[in-house]
Amino acid sequence: MYLGIDLGTSEVKAVVIDSGGKMLALAGTALSVSRPHPRWSEQDPQHWWQAACDSVAALRAQLGEAVFGEIRAIGLSGQMHGAVLLDSEDRVLRPAILWSDARSTAECAELTRRAPRLHQLAGNLAMPGFTAPKLLWVARHEPQIFARTACVLLPKDWLRLQMSGQKISDPSDAAGTLWLDVEKRDWSDELLEAGGMQRAQMPDLADGSACAGTLLPQVAQAWGLSAQVIVAGGAGDGAASAVGIGAVNPGDGFLSLGTSGVLFVVNDRFRPNPARAIHAFCHTLPQRWHQMSVMLSAASCLRWFCRLCSVDEKTLLCEIEALNQDQLDNAPLFLPYLSGERTPHNDPYAQGSFHGLAPEHERAALGYAVLEGVCFGMADGLDALRVAGAAVSELSLVGGGARSTYWAQLLADVLRVRIVTHVGSEAGGALGAARLAWLAAGGQEQEVCSKPPRLTVYEPNATRHAALQIRLQRYRDAYRAWPPLFSDVDVQ
């Protein structure tokens, strides 16, 4: 059996699969985000470790100690771009700065100036969410901490350090730092120097399907496992979700509705297109790359709205499904930019807002606007991918949002592509991490990375698509009218 651990922003999720790929158990432990200043997002890495241990304990309880003890390998998936700063004794120097943190706008401009070949080597624009600008911010605002920084680890790789004592990352996660030569799949001394860093501060690199250590004896004992259990290289959450859904060959793609929203297409070569804020990253499997459009707030928008209205998601979705067509067509518009936006705007100042509110609008109409606004953000991302050369007619749906049949059909209608859910779709990166563990333990890619059985297929409705295009255009017009209002937001 194989264990996959996915370190998300709102949850650490863990799954166990057997040697036939069947999911045997699933558990999760919630996380919270600290926002001490506007546009800051931080977490305490110790909370990640405790959540991982709690999730593993829950799996162990579900399966029983004897069965759980048969696990042969562990894979890791995690939120990308986060910066965990360690001193020379591997002590965490400050809270981890997350992918959704937008404080380093000025440092992005500085990095672009310092590294003339940034776009050519890294394949991406400098955005505040990426790791390198975060370290420039630390150097400027927290110089004493920067001076003590002996190593920078990405979130999942800090978990690996606790599990195995090894400082190792994989190319898919490392590609999100702006320190990697993405085509060569190796650290770039040129980009590191531009960011004020050195290769000695970077972890080693291993493909996601490779063996990258074994469990420390004390961790093995605490978890009820053998100290010979392999820890695989793992992947950033997007690439791990791709492995979980079987998107491993050129042309394969998926849509992820998690805290953020991702459209992911596999390539057989490095195909950067930074002009449209498309991400070009390494896949976690050897000699493959991928293009990705990213919106910073997706399913998190629905969670935010439910919390604001003191309603659970199931109740709200039932209310939305009861709306008639006239109520849908006249619902307000929602801009889902609660944490700024990446593709296609690269706008850290963008903010969420409702447009067109009227006295007759009830909670359900606003809830529908939230679902629709996320779909419209995905439509912007898909357009950018198509301009970059991606041909997309079908997308697998993964992540927490995959649980909603209503949202899945709305995505199909807005994007005018076939949306497919699979058995285990909701497990997302955790399932992919477990598959990478299986590969590291000797599994064959053709068997391990097959597409899971289809659960439901959502065909786009052409009539509904045409009607939604009118609202999509209004949504885009609303964004273009608003950015100047937010460009002077103070960030400490």
Strand pairing category for 96-97 and 23-30: unpaired
| Residues forming the active site | 237
Residues 213-234 as b or e (16 or more Cβ within 10 Å = b)? bbbbeebbeebebeeebbbbbb
Answer yes or no: are the C-beta atoms of 436 and 295 closer than 8 Å. no
Q: Which string of DSSP letters, residue by residue, matches 47-76?
A: HHHHHHHHHHHHHHHHH-HHHHTT--EEEE
Q: Which residues are annotated as a binding site?
A: 80-81
Triad 480, 260, 103: Cα angle to 5°: 70
From the list 298, 301, 488, the residue with the least C-alpha distance to 411 is: 298
How large is the C-alpha radius of gyration of the chain? 21
From the list 225, 216, 217, the residue with the least C-alpha distance to 57 is: 225
Strand pairing category for 253-257 and 394-398: parallel
Say which residues have a Cβ less than 8 Å from residue 195's Cβ, sequence separation at least 6: 111, 114, 115, 132, 135, 136, 178, 179
Q: Which string of DSSP letters, residue by residue, matches 230-248?
A: EEE--EEHHHHHHHHHT--
Answer yes or no: are the C-beta atoms of 382 and 392 closer than 8 Å. yes
The residue to which tokens 């999911």 are assigned: 23
Tokens found for residue 377: 């953000």
User: What DSSP element (H or E) covers 144?
Assistant: helix 143-148
Answer yes or no: are the C-beta atoms of 284 and 171 closer than 8 Å. yes
Q: Which residues are annotated as a binding site for substrate?
A: 80-81
From the list 443, 432, 338, 449, the residue with the least C-alpha distance to 7 is: 432
Triad 42, 169, 54: Cα angle to 5°: 55
The residue to which tokens 């609008």 are assigned: 361
Say which residues have a Cβ less than 8 Å from residue 477's Cβ, sequence separation at least 6: none
